[in-house]
Amino acid sequence: MARVHNFNAGPAALPLEVLEEAQKELIDFKGSGMSIMENSHRGKEYDAVHLEAVENVRKILKLSDDYSVLFVQGGASLQFAMVPMNLLGPGQTADYIDSGAWANKALKEAKLIGKVNVAANTGKEIPTRVPRLDELSLTPGAAYVHLTSNETIAGSQWKTFPRTEAPLVADMSSDIMSRPFDASQFGLIYAGAQKNLGPSGVALVVIRKDLAARVPATVPTMLKYGTYIEENSLYNTPPTFSIYILALVTRWILKIGPETLYRRNVEKAAKIYSILDAGQFYRGTAIKECRSDMNITFRLPSEALEEQFVKEASKQGMKGLKGHRSVGGIRASIYNAFPVEGVDALVAFMKEFEAKNN
């Protein structure tokens, strides 16, 4: 069996242990004589999986009873719409912090629903960065403040979150559960699962329950957070297989320990950043203070060299290093499940490539 070093930005590498467990249980899930995919979403087998997924999330994020854990389809992109549909009432303003392509998509969607104030805009700056806390111009009495904790394309990441009067809403798609943070600081957190949590097909939503009550009466049932809270995300058939894998991934996170994973993530990123900092050949695209531990973005002296870099790395079993099509360059996505050995392989390759081509 040949597993490559998978630097994809999402869907992304899953822990091998999780894949092996899923493989073991695929045909006959816990003696039920069928796979989890074939089990009823109202049966006792799936019920246990669903419960474990919710409980694992609660434990990892240290959530109080004020919060509900929801599983919603439509990816993080549907959350761009559901957040304002549920939380941005008529006459209210939502503050959006534009730090890059994903934050910008979220704010564009919110503009379709209601009034938006752009509280800061670093979205088009190069080198890329997230705004400083003192740059935010927040609206008194705002419905909420929205930020993107990690810009997957730009490679920038909030290191400290603002303390806001209005509920803080965060798209944590590309760094959820990669580092400790105080969840009680947030009104709502959402994340597409396919980077740090599991396969695509499900988005995790963590919501402070009182916020769900704000929803206007005209919002359809499947787009209301309240429906998911009341029905434990089982109003309709949920993406059972995706939630099953999410349960296994979060079990794996708990087994290693979120703090250990965090330290490992910082060390992994530091190894690659140390190469970027050591010379002039590789140029990081985000400013140092806010560069991401998940998506490491950099340029080489020419696009031709970047193409060659991606090609040669691929031949050596390192896949998915091409930067996002909108920005080019190189991007190494090294989420929780990405192994240290893969980082070491990339670092060795980078040194060798520089020595040959500098």
Ligand X SMILES: Cc1ncc(COP(=O)(O)O)c(C=O)c1O
Determine which one of 195, 224, 268, 322 is catalytic. 195
Residue 105 beta carbon to ligand X: minimum distance, rounded to whole angstroms = 7
To the query of whether residue 171 is one of the catalytic residues in this protein, the response is yes
- Does residue 174 interact with ligand X by CB under 6 A? yes
Does residue 10 touch ligand X according to CB under 6 A? yes
CB of 121 to ligand X, least distance (A): 17
Contact map string, positions 150 to 169, toward ligand X, x by CB under 6 A: --x-----------------
Q: Please report, as residue ranges, which positions from 47 to 106 form the binding site for ligand X (by CB under 6 A).
A: 75-77, 102
Q: Which CB sits closer to ligand X, 45 or 109?
A: 109
CB 336 within 8 A of CB 198: no
Sheet holding 93-98, edge to edge: 67-72, 203-208, 188-192, 168-171, 145-148, 93-98, 115-121
Q: How far is CA 45 from CA 62, 69, 170, 238, in A?
A: 26, 20, 32, 14
Residues in contact with ligand X, shown as a per-residue x/- string from 109 to 138 under the rule CB under 6 A? ------------------------------
Nearest distance in Å: CB 103, ligand X: 8
Nearer to ligand X, 118 or 254 (CB): 118
Q: Which of residues 204-233 bind ligand X (CB under 6 A)?
A: none
Give CA–CA dist 174/71, Å, rounded. Answer: 17
CB of 353 to ligand X, least distance (A): 27
Total residues contacting ligand X by CB under 6 A comes to 11
Specify the residue, 102 or 338, whose C-beta has the smaller distance to ligand X.
102
Using the contact rule CB under 6 A, the part of the chain among 58-66, 170-178, 245-253, 304-312 near ligand X is: 170-178
CB of 44 to ligand X, least distance (A): 30
How many Å separate Cα 14 from the centre of its chain? Answer: 14
Residue with smaller CB distance to ligand X, 68 or 196: 196
Helix axes 258-278, 240-256, angle to 10 degrees: 80
* Residue 230, CB-side half-sphere exposure with 13 Å CA sphere: 10
Comparing CB distances to ligand X, the nearer of 95 and 171 is 171
The token duo for 167 is 């509920």
Q: Min. distance of Cβ 10 from ligand X in angstroms? A: 5
Determine, following the binding rule CB under 6 A, whether residue 199 of this chain makes contact with ligand X.
Answer: no
- Among 45, 95, 109, 171, which residue sits at the site for ligand X (rule: CB under 6 A)? 171
**Among this protein's residues, is 195 annotated catalytic?**
yes
95, 98, 102, 293: which one is catalytic? 102
Put residue 100 in one of left, alpha, beta given phi > 0 → left and psi -120 to 50 → alpha: left
The residues that touch ligand X, with contacts defined as CB under 6 A, are: 10, 75-77, 102, 148, 152, 171, 173-174, 192
**Which residues participate in catalysis according to the annotation?**
102, 171, 195
